[in-house]
Amino acid sequence: MSEKIKITSIKLENYRQYFGTQSVDFPNREDGFAAIIGENGAGKSNLLNAVNWCFYKKEPHTKKNEGYGIINQIYLDSLENDSIASMSVQIDLQKGEDEYRISRVLKVIKTEYQYEEIGSAKTLKMTDAQGYVLPWGCEVIENQSTFEILKRLKHEQNFHSDKKVSPNILMNEILPETLSSYFILDGEFLEKFWTGIQKVKIGIEQISQLHLLDQTLQHVDLLRKSVPQLGKQDIDTLTKKITLNDYYEYSKDHKGNDSFSSEPRFDFDSENDENEFYHATGDPRIKELELDIVKMETKAREVAEQFGASSVGAVKTLKEQYDTEESAYKTAFHDYQQAEKQYFSSFIENLPLFFLKPAIEYSIGIVDDLRKKGDLPYEAKKIFTNDLLELGKCICQTNLESKIEGGKETNPSRIEVMKVRDNMAEDQGLDASVNMKFYFEEKMLGDFNKFTTSSFDLPRKELSQANQNSLQHNTAIKEIKLKLQNLGSVDIEQLVKDHDYLIQKIQETRSEIKDIEFTLNQNEIKNREYRSDRKKLMGKDSKAKKIAHEQSVWDSVSEIFENTFSELKKEIRDEVQSKTMEIFLQTMYKQNKFKSFNIEPDYSVRLIDQKDVSILGSLSAGESLFLALSFISAIRDVTGYKFPLVIDTPLGRVSGTPRYLLSQALPKYLPDEQIIFLATDTEFLNPDTNVHEAEGRTEEPFGQLLEEQINVKYSLITGMENNTAEIIDYIPKWRKDD
């Protein structure tokens, strides 16, 4: 496994648009890079497909409705009906000192073509025959379609087959299919490398075979947990308790069937998500929540990208200012409304007093005059007259004694005083006037300046201040809104809301995962106790003894595998993260910009800069590509798979300065490994118009820049127009000019 592998040649015979026999040889890394150049649609991706088809009978890079079949149409057209068509791909490899020839052949019986009319066009009728797109009626000859791997040892002349090992197993040893996408790379795979944890997880687990440990552990676990009911109540009760906790762990209902919640998955994608709703509990739910956190993070990043990476912070700050101002404005406006109410009520209440001041003063003067003349208030008069009548004598000594004759009072003086007393009840004017006098004196006349200040000036000032305060906050809000609008034509507020929602959702989901993990942990503690108790009981029962024996084996083995898995996973994570950083820094120009590369236990990744900020999401396309290549190199290095890298459309969206920097970095990348590029002429051969003279560099093509440091062997795919693609040697223009 640790021996280096090189691809020495690829030979295609009538595969898709490649007509006849086409072959291309590849140099060792010591002799430089290999680059196969082809325009878009020329057949680069199908070359990648050819490698995959030869190795695994799969074509992962086939576009839907491509319109042509797996066998070259010109070739098929040239055959008589009922004759046998043959298509093949052959790849020669060198592994250490041994050579391998891997070839897959497809044989088909050609029958008479059928055509179908779509509108006015008449097209060849195609069909999906036994997994291959072929003209309708053509039939695959299974027993003549072969896959073989021949081997030639160092001193042998001819290739021979190893009959003891099936070619599929041998292929798996050379490069397992699950890992192939890390070696036979397409641009999209690299471009989206950091959009989720899956590529990191699979990369580490598959390449280091952690998945094998995990798979074995799962199987051991299932056996460990499948103790049958033994008809012994005490043992069976414990088994039931253990099973219930296991059901929680595996999200099963009481019958052992998969149990789902009614919550739909976040952004459900029928192609990638196995189920539309979350599992109810346990590990399956955690797994789905983790996958969806990645989706949420990707979405949050997309939202952030809509602002432009640099304006997100500004938008967030403005939004915070907006919220603060909006809240202050609400308070200020409320204060203004209160001040306004206060002002008007004071105005209404006190203005009449202000205008009636002379009249009030005049009325009070009259009251004071009356009081000066000895006029008394009603109550005092009443008490006084009653006292005189009771006493029977006036203060002027007049006799007021009662003198009754014939049932009637006859003392005229007493009768007079009694009349005065009785009439007084109808004359209380002075009392009210006196009260009024005191009221007005206290409220207004005592300190008239104070009255006017508190009744009119103060409420007016308060109202004016509240109004000004409210207007200030309103103006600030308008300015922030304007700034937000200037940051982009998109609905910034909505984007901020979406972003905040996603961040909150991520936090809630992480918190839920922690809760489930806590419950799982508690259940596991309980289950350990139950299992231990059950083991003791089973040891006493002859029928259960054999099962107990097997269980104790699974318990020990499970522990060994768990320890192996977790220790290995940590070691590999640590090793891959430091190796990735090392390779990344070796080849990157801005070494001081980056501080560390961390792979978390859940396989999420952080690239930290010198200010301790995570900057993975804001890397340039070139930096992101190189980080992915560094990661891939690290896992190769750590785990020992030494298959060459075949990279389709490596530059993708990388242009300008990052492209220039990549041309400087790539020659140093994996110095001992063979690297084959499949690239467009725009990527490799044409001047890069995005590089400006001002940056002190010329517009040299990428390939030419590479050649300043390393040799490149070029091949060119031609003849794409009529299904007669050929691969020919090519010499770039700049070499001819030299």
Interface with other proteins by CB under 8 A: which residues? 1, 164-165, 168-170, 172-173, 176, 208-209, 212-213, 215-216, 219-220, 222-223, 542, 545-546, 549-550, 553-554, 556-557, 559-561, 563-564, 567-568, 571-572, 639-640
Nearer to other proteins, 72 or 551 (CB): 551
Q: Could you tell me where the beta strands, DSSP code E, fall in 285-438?
A: 404-405, 408-409
Could you tell me which residues are beta bridge partners of residue 599?
A: 605
What values do phi and psi take at 564, rounded to 5?
-60, -45
Smallest gap, in angstroms, from Cβ of residue 638 to other proteins? Answer: 9
Spacing of C-alpha 539 from chain mean position = 52
Q: From CA 404, how far away is CA 57, in angstroms rounded?
A: 143
Length of the chain: 738
Minimum separation from the CB atom of position 278 to other proteins (A): 25
Shortest distance, position 545 Cβ to other proteins, whole Å: 7
| Distance between CA atoms of residues 711 and 139, nearest Å | 46
Half-sphere exposure of 311 (CA within 13 A, CB side): 17
Nearer to other proteins, 435 or 563 (CB): 563
Provide, rounded to whole angstroms, the least separation between the CB of residue 556 and other proteins.
7
Of 209 and 618, the one with the shorter C-beta distance to other proteins is 209
CA 273 to each of CA 57, 133, 284, 287: distance values in angstroms, whole numbers, following the listed order: 25, 27, 12, 11
Q: Is 615 within 8 Å of 302 (Cβ atoms)?
A: no
User: CB of residue 242 vs other proteins: minimum separation in angstroms?
Assistant: 18
Cβ-based nearer residue to other proteins, 211 or 481? 211
Angstrom distance (rounded) from CA 615 to CA 313? 13
Question: In terms of Cα–Cα distance, which of 5, 21, 2 is closest to 13?
Answer: 21
DSSP 155: T
Distance between CA 736 and CA 738 in Å, rounded?
5
Q: Nearest-CA neighbor of 29 among 666, 581, 684, 679?
A: 666
Task: Give alpha helix (H) positions in 425-457.
Answer: 429-440, 448-452
Closer Cβ to other proteins, 96 or 671, answer by number: 96
Tell me which amino acid residue 570 is: K
In the complex, the smallest distance separating the C-beta of residue 274 from other proteins, rounded to whole angstroms, is: 15
Question: Do 577 and 265 form a contact (C-beta atoms < 8 A)?
Answer: no
- In the complex, the smallest distance separating the C-beta of residue 721 from other proteins, rounded to whole angstroms, is 40
Taking the complex as a whole, the smallest distance from the CB of residue 92 to other proteins amounts, in Å, to: 21
Tell me the Cα Rg of the chain.
Answer: 47
For other proteins, the closer of residues 177 and 462 by Cβ is 177
Would you say 380 or 553 has its CB closer to other proteins? 553
Q: Which of 638/716 has CB closer to other proteins? A: 638
Q: Between residues 126 and 634, which has the closer beta carbon with respect to other proteins?
A: 634
In the bound state with other proteins, the residue whose beta carbon lies nearer, of 301 and 569, is 569
Structure tokens at 461: 């000032």
- Secondary structure of the chain: what % helix, strand, coil (to 5)? 55, 15, 30
Tokens matching residue 29: 């890394």
Closer residue to other proteins (CB): 137 or 176: 176
Minimum distance, C-beta of residue 176 to other proteins, in the bound complex (Å): 8
Nearer to other proteins, 301 or 636 (CB): 636
Give the pair of three-digit tokens for residue 422: 């009785």
- In the complex, least distance from residue 694 CB atom to other proteins, rounded to whole angstroms: 51
Kindly tell me which of 31 and 162 has the beta carbon lying closer to other proteins: 162
Shortest Å distance, C-beta 520 to other proteins: 23
From the CB of 212, what's the least distance to other proteins, in Å?
6
Minimum CB separation from other proteins for residue 320, in Å? Answer: 50
652 dihedral zone (left: phi>0; alpha: psi -120 to 50; beta):
left
Return the closest-CA partner of residue 569 out of 527, 534, 535, 599: 599
DSSP symbol at 8: E
Burial of 636 (0-12, 13-18, 19+ CB in 10 A): buried
- What are the DSSP calls for 333-379, one per residue? HHHHHHHHHHHHHHHHHHHHHHHTHHHHHHHHHHHHHHHHTT---HH
How far is 132 from 43, CA to CA, in rounded Å? 18
- Which amino acid is it at 364? I
